[in-house]
């Protein structure tokens, strides 16, 4: 699963950071600020951390029902979600472009992945879904290392089987 049981992880940096999205990134991101949008990053670095496809479609449907445009980011390593009305930027943005998209987002829905950490560093509201073994590590060690943002008041987190559209809808309602 690629996460250490418990190991050294630098403390979160809380200072200003500057990133430089490419001209291509800026073209993709142009106009996103004009209406609320949700970064949706369901694909993680391993298949077991990737949000299952049946949950992906329920999440996309819920966002659209709230009038929040899903912006899909990340890599297509283990699938590619689709939804009418979404903006598919999977495999298109650079890391600085993804960071900028996350910074501007109304909310972020993510698997346990690098996009999650971008969102926590950017202090964006996060809805996090993960497999049981991630919860086991969290229960054992608490909000340390890779889980540094889990106790932020705008973070909602759960194992995949605990997901319900109602829970997502309540969280989105509080965040917008």
Percent pLDDT > 70 in the chain is 88
Say whether pLDDT at 13 is over 90.
Answer: no
Say whether pLDDT at 11 is over 90.
Answer: no
Residue pLDDT, tens place only, 61-112? 999 998 999 999 999 988 888 888 899 999 999 999 999 999 999 999 999 9
The mean pLDDT of 1-20, rounded to a whole number, is 66
Give pairs for 158-163: CB < 8 Å, separation 24+.
158/128, 158/129, 158/130, 159/129, 159/130, 159/131, 159/132, 159/134, 159/135, 160/51, 160/52, 160/55, 160/129, 160/130, 160/131, 163/55, 163/58, 163/129
pLDDT at residue 3 in the model: 52
């Amino acid at each position: 699963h690629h996460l250490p049981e418990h190991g050294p992880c630098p403390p979160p940096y809380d200072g200003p950071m500057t990133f430089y999205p490419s001209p291509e990134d800026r073209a993709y991101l142009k106009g996103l600020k004009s209406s609320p949008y949700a970064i949706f990053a369901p694909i993680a670095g391993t298949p077991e951390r990737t949000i299952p496809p049946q949950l992906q479609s329920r999440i996309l449907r819920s966002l659209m029902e709230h009038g929040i445009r899903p912006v899909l980011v990340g890599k297509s390593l283990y699938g590619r979600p689709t939804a009418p009305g979404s903006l598919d930027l999977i495999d298109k943005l650079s890391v600085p472009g993804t960071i900028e998209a996350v910074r501007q987002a109304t909310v972020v829905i993510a698997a346990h992945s690098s996009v999650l950490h971008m969102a926590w560093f950017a202090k964006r509201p996060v809805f996090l879904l993960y497999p049981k073994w991630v919860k086991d590590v969290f229960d054992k060690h608490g909000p340390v290392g890779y889980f540094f943002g889990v106790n932020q008041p705008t973070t909602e987190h759960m194992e995949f089987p605990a997901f319900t559209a109602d829970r997502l809808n309540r969280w989105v309602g509080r965040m917008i």
